[in-house]
Amino acid sequence: MSTPERLIESTRELLWERGYVGTSPKAILERADAGQGSMYHHFRGKPDLALAAIRRTAEEMRAVAAGVLDGPGTPYERIEAYLRRERDVLRGCPVGRLTMDPDVIASAELRAPVEETLDWLRGRIAGIVEEGKAQGQFAPGLDGGEIAAAVVATVQGGYVLARASGSPAAFDAGVRGLLSLLAPRTS
C-alpha cells in the first residue's frame, strides 16, 4: 500500500475511534508507519487528509448500503436486509459518529460528505418505499421520505443506545420494532 493510502486508511480508523479533535497528525503518522514529512508531502495538512478519509468512508458506506438495498427481494425484504446487515454496532457508524464531532460539523467542507451520504441513504430508502407502495406492499398513505428518515434514525439512534448500554440488544430491539411497523399487511 502506498504512503498516501496508508495515511488515508490510518486517518479513517482514527476518526472512527477518536474523532477529528482526537486524531493528531502524530497519531496518523504512527498508525500509517510514515515519516514525519509525508503527510504534508501528500496532503495540505490534517484537514485535507481528513477530508480524503471522510470521503473514502462515505463512499464505502454508500457502496455497502447499495449492495444490500439494490439486492434481490421485495422492497420490504431489501429494507429488512439493510437494517439487519452485519454491523459492528458497539463501534458505531463511521459516518454517523462524525456528526458528533464539533470540528467536523463546523467545517462545511468536512461536513459535506457526511451530509451527502445521509441524504443519499434517505433518498435511496424513500425510493424503495415508493416502489413498495406502487406494488401494494406498503400502505398508500406512507410517505417515503418520512419512512426513510425513520429507518436512518433507527440505525443511528440504535448505535447510540447500543454504545450507551454496552450491548447490541438496544440496536436489535429498535430494528425489530421498526420492521414490525413496516411489515406488509396480509389481510
Residue-wise pLDDT tens for the chain (187 aa)?
A: 899 999 999 999 999 999 898 999 999 999 999 988 888 899 998 999 999 999 999 999 999 999 999 999 999 999 999 999 999 999 999 999 899 899 999 999 999 999 999 999 999 999 999 999 999 999 999 999 999 999 999 999 999 999 999 999 999 999 999 999 999 876 5
Domain residues for the domain of 84 are: 53-182
59 within some domain = yes
166 within some domain = yes
CATH number at residue 108: 1.10.357.10
Count the domains in the chain. Answer: 1
Between the two ends of the chain, the Cα-to-Cα distance in Å is 56
178 within some domain = yes
Is the pTM value of this prediction over 0.95?
A: no
139 within some domain = yes
99 within some domain = yes
Task: Tally Cβ neighbours within 10 Å of residue 150.
Answer: 18
CB under 8 Å to 63, separation ≥6 — which residues?
none
9 within some domain = no
173 within some domain = yes
* CB 11, CB 28: distance < 8 Å: yes
CA 134 to chain centre: 28
72 within some domain = yes
DSSP state of 184: P
